[in-house]
Structure 1
């Protein structure tokens, strides 16, 4: 009898210990989930949609082959675009002090978008809207904000989003796509984008984040003032890789081609340019608008008509 009682008490004790341990694990898990939810709720809104790098890189640029370089002759030189402005003002300030022409492409819902545009304008540089568009990459599409144009939008929704983005960035003269490896492959959305550019008197530069982009062709068909990216400078931020890409840019310019280069305000990129832009490079660097294809006569007439019609 005593043996039976002892075994029963031992079994009961073991069951009690197991239950207490399980309840402790549940409480720990609930506490961790509550803490995570609390942090997510109180985090600044813009941090949710931002990639881990600051500022974010364009999506999957390595998938886009460098376009065939053409138009040798009159329109030639190196035109530099600095994408993703609006996150890091100190690096932007360093960039503006380089003393070379640079177009500043500002992400509309970046935390310092307006300040970045004002800084660039006051320094005498072209301001662009770095217009967010839907990417192919799931990694980036899961982080899309309300500023993005998507393939789920109808014409009215896309126009409204585009115009709202424009309202966030002062002094805009032109547009290029931020991400967009998915949306720039679609005819209708690109036609709607170019229509707004036409109405607002804006040029368009295809960032070519997809080798299947139709954005440049649609801009050409609609007669917009337009351009096309030839080089991404800083896909790889290692100094040897930056030097190799910059040498390709130099060769392009020496051959008398349009050489539109996109870089980002990474510390490594800005430091590289500070240390490696030579006197010969400076002589070849020109404002972006000098390398754009001009608007057609019909497009210019339409833009003039719309300008006169505005209240």
Structure 2
């Protein structure tokens, strides 16, 4: 029965009409080759557009208007903060330059410098300040004569600064070296021993007690005594590490260094220094002179000149400078003695150097900063301070520093950038091999003054048996130093490294 029903249903299926529509796929509008060609063309168009944008951007001038204005404000703040009154600073209306490479303002300044401001020291500090802002400072030459400085950003000049003495009217044609001062009398031509013309520091050298002496006795005392009276010894009450206490050395008469503050005049700049004989020197004894060359690290023609001179000079090189490491290596190969010119905090907050030591540093921070600086100046066997009028006057800060460098077996020379320095006495208290400079050769950058002060330091060496002088990387000093060194042998002076004069 079941089979009959199934056969009947199968027969009915034959009668059914299955109507189906043919399924047609949509046709591709373009071939794969056409699609590839289209994308390729699109890529070329986009590339051309990007290149056009880049070309436009590259040809578009830089907008340096804001930067040039900020530079002008920074320059004006620098000048006024260095004791130049605003009424001595004249500035013209800025000139707008719309060049194809950049748009910027050029500012023209005329600055009358007070007598207390050293132009060379001012330029040196301005150079350091501008470099931190990636700006350049170069000489402003007009008619073959240097008349100031140029502050620029690459090839774009933002400021021309003309420097005049305070007594000159702001006449640009009047610029030039200051007129020589007339001599008071013919006696100024006599090269008297400087010990006969002292600058008395009353605090350190009290006036001698009155005494009843015959004229003969007074005449006898006019000659240098065999055992000169010594100033009182200082009493050190500052911080001292355990087992380091020792008697303090004698006080010394100190003067300010122009590299520290351009606005601070130094007694040394115009008057002979007081010479205090350290010991009696036999006439047949050959005196020794060490000359430390400060502030190296930037290279250039001055460096080449110095490295061509006697290797008995001592090079003191600043850390964190472009070529400090390379110059230390080259100087050592040539036989120069290498020192680290360690930057230290000064009383003027606007004058700072990267990596300087500050009075608020801990012992660990001072040690770290000192070791970091030494890594940059290879072959350094001694240290002297760069600026540091505040740091060297702080007994605790100096004690921490001296304790650090004694552990490194280095010597120290106090540059004496302040009358209040404690550096040398604390060095002696710690038993560190140390010394202090006697004279700055180029405090005044005039060639005539450099020659006079070189003769003065020769006199100091003869009187004391030895002397330490400091000079800086300045064109005038470099131009005459070779000539001056050649006169030492005839004077009975031997040029030595600074390490030979520390005790």
TM tier relative to shorter chain? 0.7 to 0.9
CA contact (8 A) 1:85 1:265 kept: yes
Q: Deviation per CA, 1:220-271, whole angstroms, max 9, x where unpaired?
A: 0000111100000001111111111011011112224321000012111011
2:458 aligns with: 250
* Match of residue 430 from structure 2: 222
For the residues of structure 2 that align with 1:51 and 1:32, how far apart are their CA atoms? 17
Residue of structure 2 in register with 1:286 after alignment = 496
**Counterpart-to-counterpart distance in 1, 2:448 and 2:311:** 22
- Structure with the largest fraction of helix: 1
Whether 2:33 is the aligned partner of 1:33: answer no
Contact map agreement 1:59 1:181 (CA 8 A) in 2? yes
Q: Select which of 239, 242, 260 maps to 2:468.
A: 260
| Match in the other structure for 1:99 | 310
Task: Please identify the structure whose Cα radius of gyration is greater.
Answer: 2
Runs of 4+ aligned residues of structure 1 deviating over 4 Å after TM superposition are: 34-40, 43-46, 49-54, 61-68
Name the residue aligned to 1:130: 341
Normalising to structure 1: TM-score of the pair? 0.74
Counterparts of residues 3-42 of structure 1 (less than 5 Å): 32-36=65-69
1:154 is aligned to 2:154: no
8 Å CA contact 2:130, 2:136 repeated in 1: no
Per-residue deviation, 1:98:
1.8
Does the CA-based 8 Å contact 2:311-2:335 persist in structure 1?
no
State which drifts further: 156-165 or 199-208: 156-165
Contact 1:108 1:169 in 2 (8 A): yes
Instruction: Give the structure, 1 or 2, with the largest relative contact order (CA under 8 Å, sep 6 or more).
Output: 1
For the aligned residues, what is the CA RMSD? Answer: 3.2
Deviations 1:12-52 (A, max 9, x none): xxxxxxxxxxxxxxxxxx97324556999xx9998128997
SS of 1:208's equivalent in the other structure is coil
Query: What TM-score do you get using the length of structure 2 for normalisation?
Result: 0.47
For 1:53 and 1:261, the matched residues in 2 are separated by 28
CA contact 1:77–1:259 (8 Å) conserved in 2: yes
Q: Which residue of 1 aligns with 2:131?
A: 47
Aligned residues: 258
Distance 2:469 2:379 in 1: 22
- SS where residue 275 of structure 1 aligns? helix
Alpha-carbon contact 1:63-1:210 (below 8 Å) kept? no
Give the corresponding residue for 1:71: 278
Checking the alignment, whether the CA contact within 8 Å between 2:366 and 2:400 is kept in structure 1 is: yes
Structure 1 regions of 5+ residues with no counterpart? Answer: 1-29, 294-311
Deviation at 1:70, TM superposition (A): 3.6
